[in-house]
């Protein structure tokens, strides 16, 4: 397992994340994305596909 902090931008109804330029950190495939709050509590996972 690997945990990678992603850059994100929040808007009223969405969150946009940016995959690191170094593709050896995040290769193409399916990933479970979690968001944590300020106390470290994770959200329910969302499956995302990185092309």
Whole-model pTM: value is 0.66
Query: How many residues can be counted in the chain?
Result: 51
Give me the chain's average pLDDT, please: 89
Which pairing describes strands 15-18 and 46-50: parallel, antiparallel, or unpaired? unpaired
Give the residue extent of every domain in the chain. Answer: 7-50
**Which of the 8 DSSP states describes residue 51?**
-
Confidence (pLDDT) at 1: 77
Written in H, E and C, the secondary structure of 2-46 is: CCCCCEEEECCCCEEEECCCCCCCCCCEEEEECCECCCCCECCCE
* pLDDT tens figures, 1-24: 788 888 889 999 988 988 888 888
Q: Is it the case that residue 29 has pLDDT exceeding 90? A: yes
The whole-angstrom separation of Cα 40 and Cα 34 is 11
* pLDDT tens figures, 39-50: 999 999 999 999
């Amino acid at each position: 397992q690997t945990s990678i902090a992603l850059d994100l931008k929040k808007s009223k109804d969405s969150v946009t994340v940016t995959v690191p330029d170094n593709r050896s950190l995040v290769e193409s495939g399916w990933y479970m994305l979690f968001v944590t709050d300020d106390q470290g509590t994770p959200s329910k996972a969302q499956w995302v596909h990185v092309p």
